[in-house]
Amino acid sequence: MSAAAGVAGRPAAGPSGPSAAVKAGRAVRGYAPAVLVAVGGLLVWELAIRLANLNAFILPAPSAIIAALIENWNGERFPLWQSAQNTIIEAVGGFLIGTTAGVVVAFAAARWGGMRALLLPLAIAANAIPIIAFAPLFNTWFGLLNPLSKMMMAAVLSFFPVMANVTRGLSGVDPGQLELMRSYAATQSTVLRKVRIPNALPYFFTALKLASTLSLIGAIVAEYFGGQGSVLGRMIVQSASALKFDITWAAVSLAAIAGIVFYLVIAAIERIAIPWHASSRSED
C-alpha cells in the first residue's frame, strides 16, 4: 500500500506508484544530505582534535572511540557488547511493560468517562514529576541487582505517553464519524473496533516512538545508581571514574545506536501498520 502513497493529490493516477528503483533512488536522495553532514561532522571532529592536539580527556577523536569500542567489545573489565545487550533487554522489557499498562489504562479510561475524569489530571500531575528522580528508590523497591528495578524505571517512563496518547486517540474521534455510526445503529463495541481503535493507531505509534527513547533513558539512568555490573550505565560511570573517556564515549555511542535502531524499528512497523496515515506517506 505504500506504493499508493506516491500519488498523493493525484487522483488520476492508478493505485500503483513509482517503481521500487525510483523509490530507492528517492530515499537515497532524501537521506544523502543528512548522511553527508554526519560524515562531514565526524571528519571535522577528527581533524580538529588532531590539529589542535586536544587532550583525549576533554574529547577523544572518533577514531579513538571506535578503537576503544573494538578493543572492549568483549573486554574483561568493560564488556561493552554484553553490557549493551543487558541494557537493551532492560529497556525493551520496561518498554513492553509500560506500553501494555498504558494501553490497558487508556482503554479503561476511554470506556468509562468517570475513570478518565479521575485519571487524566492524576496522570498529568504524575507526568510533571521528574520520575527519573525515583531511580534510587526503584532500586530499593525492586532489588538493586535485579534487572526488574531498571525495567520498572523504563516502564514508568514509557507508561505516560502511551496512556495519554492512546486515550486521546480513542476518545478524540471525529463527531461526524460517531454520528454516522449512530445512524447505522452500531453497537459500542463495533464503534470501538471500527472507529476508535483505528483512530488511535497513529497516536499509539507516536507514543511508541517517544517510549522507545524514554525506556532507554530510564534503564541507563537507573543503572547509574548501581546494580548488575555488565550494563551500559555501569560502563559509563566506571570508565568515566577510571578516566577512560574513550570507553565512556564508546558506551555512550552504543546507547545512541541502540536508541536509534529501536526508534527506526518502530517507525518501520508504523509504516506497515498504518500506511494510510500522513506520517507514513512518502513525501512527494
Binding site for other proteins (CB under 8 A): 1, 4, 7-11, 15, 174, 176-177, 179-186, 190, 194-195, 198, 201, 274, 276-278, 281
Output 132 or 186, the one with its CB closest to other proteins.
Answer: 186
Shortest separation between residue 202's beta carbon and other proteins, angstroms: 9
Shortest separation between residue 172's beta carbon and other proteins, angstroms: 14
Output 53 or 183, the one with its CB closest to other proteins.
Answer: 183
Shortest separation between residue 124's beta carbon and other proteins, angstroms: 25
Round to whole Å and give the CA distance between 164 and 214.
Answer: 15
Shortest separation between residue 165's beta carbon and other proteins, angstroms: 17
Output 67 or 186, the one with its CB closest to other proteins.
Answer: 186
Output 143 or 172, the one with its CB closest to other proteins.
Answer: 172
8 Å CB contact between 102 and 159: yes
CB-based contacts of 18, cutoff 8 Å, min separation 6? 3, 6, 26
Output 76 or 179, the one with its CB closest to other proteins.
Answer: 179
Shortest separation between residue 1's beta carbon and other proteins, angstroms: 8
Round to whole Å and give the CA distance between 185 and 195.
Answer: 14
Q: How many CB atoms lie within 10 A of CB 165?
A: 22
Output 196 or 244, the one with its CB closest to other proteins.
Answer: 196
Burial (CB count <10 Å: 0-12, 13-18, 19+), residue 208: buried
Shortest separation between residue 144's beta carbon and other proteins, angstroms: 46
Shortest separation between residue 191's beta carbon and other proteins, angstroms: 9
Round to whole Å and give the CA distance between 170 and 175.
Answer: 12
Round to whole Å and give the CA distance between 29 and 236.
Answer: 36
8 Å CB contact between 246 and 67: yes
- In whole angstroms, how large is the CA radius of gyration of the chain? 23
Output 128 or 278, the one with its CB closest to other proteins.
Answer: 278
Output 13 or 22, the one with its CB closest to other proteins.
Answer: 13
CB-based contacts of 22, cutoff 8 Å, min separation 6? none
Measured CA to CA in angstroms, residue 1 lies from 104, 239, 283 at distances of: 30, 48, 15
Round to whole Å and give the CA distance between 269 and 209.
Answer: 11
Shortest separation between residue 4's beta carbon and other proteins, angstroms: 6
